[in-house]
Structure 1
């Protein structure tokens, strides 16, 4: 994104280019892996922005209204002490540290870690509504929110406020793999999330958006 910003700010002196990450945590640019790839993607993004700026723009008017909440996301039952003790002997330091943290909480009589996710909606008149969620939000939420809130002119933002982990959809959870399971190791969590997490988040965000209409 830095290369896109550099291009835009050089083309429009005095402007400040701001990038808001969307909801596409399970998507990757292609090609990727080299500095030249990043520069090419930055140039492509800057070109897309210039294309928009060279067309008639729609003004954003009206008062700013904000709604915010936090949602406790349902995780699977935590592992047994036996499993934690086994993981604490793992050769993988990430697995070992995660298990040690859970065992420490057990020893102190504390509940196991959970995920409380921040959600927000910001409405600017009838022209634009920002839909913001914490975490690395997968693309299925973008697809659903665009359809559900089409009349509200949504702009979707992931990675908002904080990033406790990937936020998978029911589809991703059923598929398993990195976003649903193994990535949680690096966030110090045992999972996966329960499939109802998607409908819970859709419901809560719908309530926020409706409260601003």
Structure 2
């Protein structure tokens, strides 16, 4: 096994319009803390590259642009590259040079939310994409030239850093803390050690929305603060956070009585410290699993489907004064797309499975994925350790389960915000779970001689 880990700040040097909250009405007003791109290169017969970005997400235009560049420069196939977004709501949403695969509805160069897609100028987004692309290439070149013999150790703990934000009441589904909901509280920690046993990288995964704070300042949020704390404890290493299936999970720190609040910056940092402490407790456990043997990859693409809404249903949202301006504006754009015949009806969806030896899988799902997907997948693969990630290789929209679609709520209704003609159908859940099984069957992991 060979490995290398490196990072670099990607903090914009001028004000940008931050994604994440529909109430924002101006560009950013400073930097609370830097945002980063971090890269880990693992090599054992096959090369695997992990890229994490402190961003709300990225669309297919961005992901395809990055992966095509890495294929041209390093010969890396799509399934060898895992791009994961931390989903901090104090950062930008990323797009690429190509209009194909662009989510739309936002530009980091805008000063307010656009009324129509044609009003958006992507010039600043494209410049930023090129900067990030070139930065990633430079980091990977450094990794390829500085690969060192090493070892991967896996530990599994847990954390209660997050809580479900979906509470069913007699009045219907409420956006409130639900401590009774079954959620994925697994905290996976990977240690990347060099040949002398020195820690070079610390990769940890948990599923939770980084939405402690709401100021109009750039920040990696509480998960970035956790990385800062861990790097202070291990000065010669780089801490990398992988976002799990946290689409319906809010930080525990934001709970006050029976509702959610916006935290102070100090409280956000406390949440990061507490998550780092959970990582440290996991590291103190005995019985770390040494990951040996070959590394294998598989990637499966499926299509997810929507209900055949028409113009009438979409215009009803436009005219509903109980809805937010942000939602009504998005519905107007979607209504225009219905009129033009260009509305999105099907969502291409990518599933990546990595096998690191016999007993460990990383399963990466595209989009904003609720916690119950991780629970279902882990039940399917109950005989091995499985890290399930959302927000990977693109963040087009929420991916609701059948139960969420039945109950309603924000996760079920977000299709409007991202230009889809109607709600996603419940059968998509089984399409995804079936494709995960298919991807696993494509893996062939020979045992180490």
Shared fold by TM > 0.5? yes
Helix, strand or coil: the match of 2:298? strand
| Residue 148 (structure 1) aligned to one of 376, 380, 403 | 380
The verdict on how the C-alpha distance between 1:59 and 1:103 changes in structure 2, with shifts beyond 3 A counting, is same
User: What are the ranges of 5 or more consecutive residues in structure 2 without an aligned counterpart?
Assistant: 1-222, 255-261, 445-449
Q: Do the aligned partners of residues 174 and 11 (structure 1) sit closer, same or farther apart at CA in structure 2, a change above 3 Å counting?
A: same
User: CA 1:209 to 1:40, structure 2 compared with 1: closer, same or farther past 3 Å?
Assistant: same
Aligned-pair CA distance for 1:49: 1.2
Q: CA deviation at 1:89?
A: 6.5
Give unpaired runs (5+ residues) of structure 1.
none
Matches of 1:97 and 1:8 in 2, distance apart?
Answer: 40
SS in 1 for 2:289: coil
The alignment's C-alpha RMSD in Å is 2.1
Corresponding position of 2:309: 78
Name the TM-score, length of structure 1 as normaliser. 0.88
What SS does structure 2 have at the residue aligned with 1:150? coil
Tell whether 2:336 aligns with 1:100: no
Q: Is 1:135 aligned with 2:357?
A: no
The C-alpha deviation readout for 1:153-200, integer Å capped at 9, x for no partner, is: 21111100111111111110100111101x223222232111111111
Is the Cα contact below 8 Å between 2:337 and 2:343 reproduced in 1?
Answer: no
1:187 equivalent in structure 2: 418
Q: Which has the higher helix share?
A: 1
Equivalent residue runs for 1:41-80 within 5 Å: 41-56=271-286, 57-80=288-311
Distance 2:326 2:372 in 1: 32
Q: What SS is found at the alignment partner of 2:349?
A: strand
Q: What is the rounded CA distance, in whole Å, between the counterparts of 1:155 and 1:129 in structure 2?
A: 6
Q: Name the residue aligned to 1:124.
A: 356
Whether the aligned pair in 2 keeps the contact of 1:88 and 1:100 (CA below 8 Å) is no
User: SS at the partner of 1:165?
Assistant: coil
Partners of 1:209 and 1:36 in 2: CA distance: 43
Any conservation in 1 of the 2:315–2:331 contact (CA below 8 Å)?
A: no
CA distance in structure 2 between the aligned counterparts of 1:142 and 1:86, rounded to whole angstroms: 34
Q: Residue 204 of structure 1 is aligned with which of 435, 445, 449?
A: 435
